[in-house]
Structure 1
Amino acid sequence: MTLHDFLALPHRFRWGGVGGDDCTTFCGTWLQESAGVDPAEKYRGTYSTAKGAHDILARAGGVVACAAAALEPAGCKRVQHPQDGDVGVVKAPSGLDGEAKEICAIRFGPLWALLSPSGVVAKKVDHVAVWRAPGGDHKE
């Protein structure tokens, strides 16, 4: 499945990645479709609210630490220069107040695609950390 095909699917926001995805499991679903690994597998169904998600992230030491702990054992490599299809943690406006928060997203051209309650949104935001899936067809 191409990244374009994946982003065009009718994504549904659901905390915990059951019956849909949240911003973190969205990246796991992309990696499952594109590389055959699901780094979010052990988290799917273990929470169903924003508080549940935030509790998991806090226990892991934050979004970047949680992403690294899930992605690196799945064979993803940390890279400095994001390319299409890479997953990462970005700083993006979130919630009703629009405060910038660290969330997981997928690199799509010069933008980052993320899943919000209203669906997939592509934004030009700054990345904090980036990983490339195993077997990625581009080199760092």
Structure 2
Amino acid sequence: MTKMMKKVMVMMVMLVAVFAISAVPAQAATRTTKLQLNVKQTKMLKFTRRKLPQKAKVSWTSSNKNVVAVNRNGKIIAKRPGTAKIIARYRKNRYIYVINVKKAVKKASSAPVKKMSSSINKASDRLYRVEKTIYYTDGRVESIIYYYYK
């Protein structure tokens, strides 16, 4: 009878171990990436580094749609300066992108100037119009107009 009791005890311990392992919920995988964009800049986001099945349905959401908008394919567009989170979900896995949007800084032209011209026209007795035109070698033309009273 002692052999029988030992077998029953071993079976009970095994059953308890199996139930304890299966009762622990699976942890969802979460990864985070930080990005920085300028206003009106777009970027295509990917869910993970590995390839997903062809018909995998990944849901994309934005925490602040006024700052960053996202479409169903993961393409984002930066709308206004600020910070937003883009969350991609596939089954129990989540991928979080923290997007920081900054105002774009206008760069000075690096193209050399081909030609410059300026003209002064009298608009009325005391009003003068000054026009300055800059022709760049890359084909751009920039015109600046000033008015002043004498």
Q: TM-score range by the shorter chain?
A: under 0.3
Normalising to structure 2: TM-score of the pair? 0.18
Structure with bigger strand share is: 2
Structure with bigger helix share is: 1
User: RCO greater where, 1 or 2, for CA within 8 Å and sep 6 or more?
Assistant: 1
